Structure formats: C-alpha cells, structure tokens
Amino acid sequence: MTCLLHLCISLLAGFTSESIPPDGTWWEYPQPAQFNTRGVSAGVGVRGENWSVTVEELGRMTSTAVACGNNEPMCTSGKIPFSHFLGSEHPSGVWANWEPHWGPVFGQLGVGLAWPRFSMAVPDWNDGVDTPRPLLVGNNRMVYSPLIGFGYSVKNVDLLVNWRLLRVVNSNVDFQGLGWKETDLSIRVNF
C-alpha cells in the first residue's frame, strides 16, 4: 500500500444483486410478481493496512406484485379483488471491516449500520374490511449489517466481492423490504 502515511482515501463503484423476500411476505405465488434485483453501487471510504471503513449506496431495486390484502383464499375465491404492490428500495450504510492479507488476496469481515430506505405503494389496497384505498408503507429502520467477503489487490486497486445481511422483519410499524441479502462486486481505488 503506497498511500499517504499508510492511510488511503478510497472510491468504490460496482454492482449489487439483492435477494427477494420469501413467498408470502407481500407477494404470493402463483400471482404475477417481477423483481429488479440489481443496482449500481458507489461509495467512499478510508483504508488502512488491514482495515477499512466505507459509506456505500447499494443501488436501487424495484418490484411489482399482485397479492391479496387479506388472508387467502379471500381473493382467489372472488370475495375481494387482488391489490397491486409497487416497491422501491435504495439501501445504504456504513461498514467497518477487518481485512487480513495473504499476498495480494485479502479477506473482509465487518459490521455496519444500514438503512433499507424501502417504500411500497399499494394504490388499490383492499382487505375486505375497510373501504378500498391507496396505502403507502415502508421501512427505514436502521439495522445491523454483518459483512463477509474477499478481495484481490493490484497496486492501489482492489477487486471486492462481499455479502451483507439487511433483513428487517415485518411489524406493525415497519414493512419487510425487497432484499434480505446483498451481494456486491466492486472496484475500490485507493488514493
């Protein structure tokens, strides 16, 4: 590492792939659902000899789904119409990582604080109890986010592959976002 005083400023750019929540979270097989689970990631950080701290934006993911606003078989029996769920998520966070090196190869083991920045619009919410209405739910609760990964260094450029957990459980206040796990492939340039 040839940065000033063994401390580098880092810029990161890459691609993120996000998992989808399980069937029944707010989408239901065999009803139609589409997921855009890939996004462009970017970040900035500070790197030392065997550690790094980064602030990262993990892209924008979207979804569309048709699901029942009440427990099935209310919709499949025709008692109430299906609702349309339109989701959007822009996860971001800050991660601190330990990065032990073995020549040009290194590992990453870290923890972070992440914000899912998830919103779900349901323009035709119908649970069969209340009058049908538009509904907006979301989740921006901070979650602890473990990170594991590995990298390969060539001079002041690192190729990184890492995995982060961003799961937020449904509650009366928060709504489960699109992704539970994020896999990121990025290039980190150290100055």
What is the arithmetic mean of pLDDT over 1-5?
A: 64
d(CA 143, CA 173): 14
Q: Is the peptide bond before 73 cis (omega within 30 degrees of 0)?
A: yes
What is the arithmetic mean of pLDDT over 168-184?
A: 74
Whether the Cβ atoms of residue 191 and residue 8 lie closer than 8 Å to each other: yes
Beta strand ranges found along the chain (DSSP E): 8-18, 33-36, 38-47, 51-57, 61-67, 83-89, 92-98, 101-102, 105-115, 118-125, 133-139, 143-154, 157-165, 181-190
User: Quick one: tokens of 165?
Assistant: 């957990």
Per-residue confidence band for 4, with pLDDT thresholds at 50, 70 and 90: low
d(CA 122, CA 28): 15
For the 4-190 domain, the top CATH level (class) is mainly beta
Percent of the chain scored above 70 by pLDDT?
A: 93
What is the arithmetic mean of pLDDT over 13-21?
A: 93
d(CA 19, CA 51): 27
Residue 5's pLDDT is 66
Residue 93's pLDDT is 96
Per-residue confidence band for 172, with pLDDT thresholds at 50, 70 and 90: low
User: Comparing 34 with 166, which gets the higher pLDDT?
Assistant: 34
Residue 174's pLDDT is 64
Q: What is the pLDDT of residues 63-76, one digit of tens each?
A: 999 999 888 888 98
Residue 100's pLDDT is 97
Q: What is the pLDDT of residues 109-131, one digit of tens each?
A: 999 999 989 899 999 999 888 88
Residue 179's pLDDT is 73
